[in-house]
Chains A and B, each alone.
Chain A
């Protein structure tokens, strides 16, 4: 039987599995290429190659076990970190999203203005002497002409077929395109500037109308600048992702592009009062919130674990009930708690007989957050504490009791230190989790209350990650570069605090 699974059938299964995975990955590669995401495409391509190499050869047996994990780590941990680090060095925000080449193209496409009278003509699209051309009807002046990119050829109305609206339908030597030909030639004709007079040209605004316009800006690729043909103004690369007038940096062309600004996003955090002020208060609250969350959830979880560590009647039922908050999706719990804290209709005010505006007052809102997080978090610490209590040798406790230690002393001197040693990594992980507990803040208070009328950027219960979200996505102007910089600062803070905690608890050494 064993040989059966090691033989040809297992190889066939492996081939089929690999075939399916490779098919999906190649499909994704094609999609990535089509969307211009070449890094992703390259990664997916390399993944297919590595999978084939690893599982169809004996190049490395350990790699057969590690490869999926390594690939997922690269895709979902390393790549986002690298991307975030990279973007934190860019001016990457609303108005500076696209590449420079694309921005130049779009500025050129917008760099025209209709003539002062807003002149427009009815047109027919076709070909004249093997060139793309327009049959133009100037119904105001009862004039008709053919316009190509190079020439404007006047026509005699007598030679034309003119419909009841005064629009020329056909002209000698002018081949009108059929509907399907027009649709196929859309790109060709849309990009053309057909001759009108002087600096003015006719551009398509749909298939029926031509608008008389003139170019306002011209791009000088050698000097990397735009010149205003009318006013003589020169727009140069300002090094921050826009073409701007050197003497008047506030006057710039749009769209801009994402441009490297190196450490500017980081220095902004400390130099811009708008950010510096809230960042300090948000940081203090974030540390307070994370610390209080860990302390309260651990304390309650441990208390319950100690209580239920002794054989009491109905212990199983109690244990099951205590795990319920953990089993329920936290998003649901948060929303329910949000309703319970409602000032007018909430159960809490009804029970207490108060009319407290829980989320309008900073202190009450903070209290509510800690309370809800306690509800969400204590079952976890109850579970891990229960497990850890089982791991403490009973001989130690018995020896202490024989030596005359009372239960309080046993707990303080033996049980708690041992528990802390076992649970330190989990406490630190819990701190790191709560440091970035976006869901709770976003769903319960939205970071508020916030004194918008006083121009406050951050709310009283905003933690660093929710503040970052506000900067990145909270308004119609999204500053992704700045948000990346804050994210990186958060990452460094959490990593630093966690490493410090682990070192202090000497847990790492115990694992060595």
Chain B
């Protein structure tokens, strides 16, 4: 190599290093707590955290938003020590996988901090006896009805079916009851429950009994009575949630199950939040509605970034406090999980309605069972298939009901070890 060439190599090397130095990727800067959230929650969090900047003195808090919840989950799954967040706003079913994979770190709350939440909410974010975050949002669904089509709140499931059959032709109804929020598994759980398929069995003290499932035969017979004409669907309940929201908003479906994250869309269309559980086959025994919490979860990256204590303080001072949740949910619009915030005067009627629905009849979406394929299938993944099998494929409601019950039994038996 000539001297000239060597000189050129030297110049290139020096210049390249100098130029690249301008773009050196920075790990989380010291004293900065990084929070990851989805595209809905992120901007709201950022706004609220900016309004009052001293939740944890001495730290800067930055919020990174991802386009949607799936993108957030995907990014968190791939997060590394250098790139990972200190706190992530995640769902309760992230807890078992996050804890197993070493991405979430446990947090211990004091008795007074625990008292701000219900035992069920804390249970939702617990894995193998350790808590991995603080509950922030209540996620639940409830049934509403169109007062133009339904004059009084239904008392039994049969009453709804009768109304549908009576008005189907004259009012061009596309369905009687449909699931607009939560999908045919979580969202439809209250329908399962109303017809006798209570995934969670409770003892006399209202404690969940595991290793026991619902009676698939009773459930199947109720499905036959209320949802089928012979072997075919009577059209009351569509097997899928496609089009439900639009059809309900168009006045073509009298009853719908909606999620609390979308109540504003219904209010904007003039619907009142006449929230109620799905009535049971007999009066005063309504279906239990699904409810769980999303939380601010502590990650193991916080310790690696040297902000563990700061992140824990942020969890308790902001995410888990009355003041923090009131400010945040004022913008976010979901029912606050924290008891004080739920009672705050600024909480809207819809938030309060959904919050009450969750408190009265919610079910824990226990993450441990979500991750279990014991029995060859996962109950929550399989539940929508029940509707397809019975309402579309014409399979026997009792036989399929018993299969579903068996899956739940197998899942809970295996999943109990992870509680």
Binding site for B on A (CB under 8 A): 11, 15, 18-20, 22-27, 30-31, 34-36, 48, 52, 56-57, 94-95, 97-98, 102-103, 106, 109-110, 114, 118, 120, 178-184, 186-187, 189-191, 204-209, 211, 213, 250, 254-256, 274, 343-345, 357, 360, 449-457, 475-478
Q: Which residues does chain B contribute within 8 Å of A120, judged by CB atoms?
A: 108, 110-111
Given that A183-B58, A186-B309, A452-B377 are contacting pairs, would A24 and B101 also be in contact in the complex, using a CB cutoff of 8 Å?
no
* A52-B13, A205-B110, A206-B313 known, 13 other contacts, Cβ within 8 Å: A19-B12, A19-B19, A22-B12, A35-B83, A36-B82, A94-B97, A94-B101, A95-B101, A190-B309, A206-B310, A209-B316, A360-B388, A453-B382
Assembly CA distance A255 to B392 (angstroms): 43
Q: Which residues does chain B contribute within 8 Å of A25, judged by CB atoms?
A: 16
A467–chain B nearest beta-carbon distance, Å:
15
A453 and B110 within 8 A (CB): no
B129–chain A nearest beta-carbon distance, Å:
8
B11 is an interface residue with CB less than 8 A from chain A? yes
A98 and B108 within 8 A (CB): no
B16 and A48 within 8 A (CB): yes
B249 is an interface residue with CB less than 8 A from chain A? no
From A48, A189, A213, B108 is in contact (CB under 8 Å) with A213
From A26, A56, A205, A357, B16 is in contact (CB under 8 Å) with A26
Assembly CA distance A357 to B392 (angstroms): 8
Taking CB as reference atom, which chain A residue is nearest B32?
A183
From A180, A205, A457, B376 is in contact (CB under 8 Å) with A457
From B97, B109, B389, A476 is in contact (CB under 8 Å) with B97
Assembly CA distance A360 to B391 (angstroms): 12
A476 and B12 within 8 A (CB): no
B410–chain A nearest beta-carbon distance, Å:
9
Taking CB as reference atom, which chain B residue is nearest A122?
B110
B5 and A57 within 8 A (CB): yes
Interface flags for B123-150 (1: CB within 8 Å of A; 0: not) read: 0000010100000000000000000000
Among A20, A102, A186: residue with most chain B CB under 10 A: A186
A19–chain B nearest beta-carbon distance, Å:
5
B389 and A453 within 8 A (CB): yes
Given that A19-B19, A189-B309, A454-B403 are contacting pairs, would A27 and B11 also be in contact in the complex, using a CB cutoff of 8 Å?
no
Assembly CA distance A259 to B214 (angstroms): 40
Closest 4 CB pairs of A and B: A455-B376, A183-B58, A22-B16, A255-B102
B321–chain A nearest beta-carbon distance, Å:
12
Q: Which residues does chain A contribute within 8 Å of B312, judged by CB atoms?
A: 204-206
B386–chain A nearest beta-carbon distance, Å:
6
B8 is an interface residue with CB less than 8 A from chain A? yes
A254 and B99 within 8 A (CB): yes
Q: Which residues does chain B contribute within 8 Å of A18, judged by CB atoms?
A: 12
Taking CB as reference atom, which chain A residue is nearest B113?
A209
Q: Which residues does chain A contribute within 8 Å of B128, judged by CB atoms?
A: 254
A248–chain B nearest beta-carbon distance, Å:
12
Contact stretch, chosen from B22-30, B193-201, B266-274: B22-30
From B15, B105, B392, A19 is in contact (CB under 8 Å) with B15
Q: Which residues does chain A contribute within 8 Å of B386, judged by CB atoms?
A: 453
Given that A56-B5, A114-B108 are contacting pairs, would A187 and B303 also be in contact in the complex, using a CB cutoff of 8 Å?
yes
Assembly CA distance A284 to B11 (angstroms): 60
Binding site for A on B (CB under 8 A): 1, 5, 8-9, 11-13, 15-17, 19-20, 23-25, 27, 30-31, 56-59, 77, 80-83, 93, 96-97, 99-102, 105-111, 113-114, 128, 130, 243, 300, 303, 306-310, 312-313, 315-317, 370-371, 373, 375-378, 381-382, 385-386, 388-389, 392-393, 400, 403-404, 407, 417
B371 and A475 within 8 A (CB): yes
From B8, B309, B373, A204 is in contact (CB under 8 Å) with B309
Q: Which residues does chain A contribute within 8 Å of B376, judged by CB atoms?
A: 274, 454-457
B400–chain A nearest beta-carbon distance, Å:
6
Q: Which residues does chain B contribute within 8 Å of A184, judged by CB atoms?
A: 30-31, 58
Taking CB as reference atom, which chain B residue is nearest A12?
B8
Task: Give the A-B contact count at a CB cut-off of 8 A.
Answer: 203
Assembly CA distance A454 to B377 (angstroms): 8
B299–chain A nearest beta-carbon distance, Å:
11
Assembly CA distance A94 to B93 (angstroms): 14
Assembly CA distance A19 to B316 (angstroms): 50
Q: Which residues does chain A contribute within 8 Å of B77, judged by CB atoms?
A: 478
Given that A254-B99, A453-B377, A476-B371 are contacting pairs, would A186 and B306 also be in contact in the complex, using a CB cutoff of 8 Å?
yes
A23 and B15 within 8 A (CB): yes
Assembly CA distance A120 to B108 (angstroms): 10
Assembly CA distance A98 to B79 (angstroms): 12
Q: Which residues does chain B contribute within 8 Å of A97, judged by CB atoms?
A: 101-102
B102 and A22 within 8 A (CB): no
Assembly CA distance A191 to B306 (angstroms): 10
A344–chain B nearest beta-carbon distance, Å:
8
Assembly CA distance A20 to B20 (angstroms): 9
Assembly CA distance A94 to B236 (angstroms): 41
B82–chain A nearest beta-carbon distance, Å:
4
Assembly CA distance A120 to B388 (angstroms): 52
Q: Which residues does chain B contribute within 8 Å of A211, judged by CB atoms?
A: 108, 110
Q: Which residues does chain B contribute within 8 Å of A19, judged by CB atoms?
A: 12, 15-16, 19
B221–chain A nearest beta-carbon distance, Å:
17
Assembly CA distance A189 to B313 (angstroms): 14
Taking CB as reference atom, which chain B residue is nearest A345?
B243
Taking CB as reference atom, which chain A residue is nearest B310?
A186
- Ordered by A's residue number, 15 sampled pairs between the chains whose C-beta atoms are within 8 Å are A11-B8, A30-B20, A94-B100, A94-B101, A102-B102, A110-B130, A180-B58, A186-B306, A190-B309, A206-B312, A206-B316, A209-B110, A360-B393, A455-B376, A477-B373
B12 and A15 within 8 A (CB): yes
Assembly CA distance A156 to B418 (angstroms): 46
Given that A26-B20, A36-B82, A205-B109 are contacting pairs, would A15 and B11 also be in contact in the complex, using a CB cutoff of 8 Å?
yes
Among A103, A118, A189: residue with most chain B CB under 10 A: A118
B25 and A98 within 8 A (CB): no
Assembly CA distance A444 to B231 (angstroms): 28
Assembly CA distance A455 to B300 (angstroms): 35
A106 and B19 within 8 A (CB): no
